[in-house]
Amino acid sequence: MKDALSITILVAVLSAGYLSADVMAQVQKLPIEYVQSLDQARDILKPQGKPLIITKDPFKPIIMPAKKGIIAKPVDILSDVKVLGIVKLDDDYRAFIRVGTKERVVSLQDTVRKFTIIDINMEQVVFKSGNRTVIKKRGKL
C-alpha cells in the first residue's frame, strides 16, 4: 500500500509541475496501476489499521525441547498371557496357557507373540525376546 500511496503523491506532484523534465520522463516510465474502485482508493490514501490479535505466546519457543530423564516404560505385550497349568510328560514340561481369549498347550521353543519359550518348570514359564526376559508364574483361575 505504501508503494501505491507514493505513486499517487508522485503523480500529484507531477501534475502540479514541480519536477524537472528528465525526472518527469523517468517517472512516466514507471508502471502505474490504476485503482478499480473508490473503496480501494480510500484504503490506499487512508489505510485503517486493524487490531493485532495474538493467539500464541510470542516468548514461548515453537519447538519444545525434549524432557530429559523420562524413560518410557516398555509395553508388556504378554500382559494378557496367563499360565493355567503345567504338566510333566517323561522329561518334558508342557504348559497350558491362555493368550487373550484363546487357550493352548505350549512346550520349549514355541513362540507366543514374538517371545520364545526358553524354560518351563513346575512353577513358571520363561519367555525371551532379544535381551528381554519375561517370567509368568503359574496362577490360580
pLDDT per position as a tens digit, 37-83: 777 777 777 777 777 777 777 787 777 766 776 666 767 788 889 99
Domain limits at 13?
Answer: 2-45
The reply to whether 40 falls in a domain is yes
**Residue 132, H or E segment:** strand 132-137
According to DSSP, the residues that pair with 92 across neighbouring strands are: 89
Nearest to 113 by CA among 94, 121, 125: 125
The pLDDT of residue 58:
75
The reply to whether 26 falls in a domain is yes
The reply to whether 75 falls in a domain is no
CATH number for the domain spanning 108: value is 2.30.30
Q: What does pLDDT average to over the chain?
A: 78
The reply to whether 66 falls in a domain is no
**Domain count for the chain:** 2
> Based on the domain organization, do 131 and 87 belong to the same domain?
yes
Confidence of residue 117 (pLDDT cuts 50, 70, 90): very high
The pLDDT of residue 13:
56
Angle subtended at Cα 72 by Cα 68 and Cα 78, rounded to the nearest 5 degrees: 170
The reply to whether 62 falls in a domain is no
Q: Are strands 102-106 and 124-129 parallel, antiparallel or unpaired?
A: unpaired
> What would the mean pLDDT of 11-21 be, rounded to a whole number?
59
The reply to whether 21 falls in a domain is yes
The reply to whether 113 falls in a domain is yes
The pLDDT of residue 128:
94
Residue 23 corresponds to which cell in the numbers above? 525526472
The pLDDT of residue 42:
76
**Length of the chain as a residue count:** 141
The reply to whether 109 falls in a domain is yes
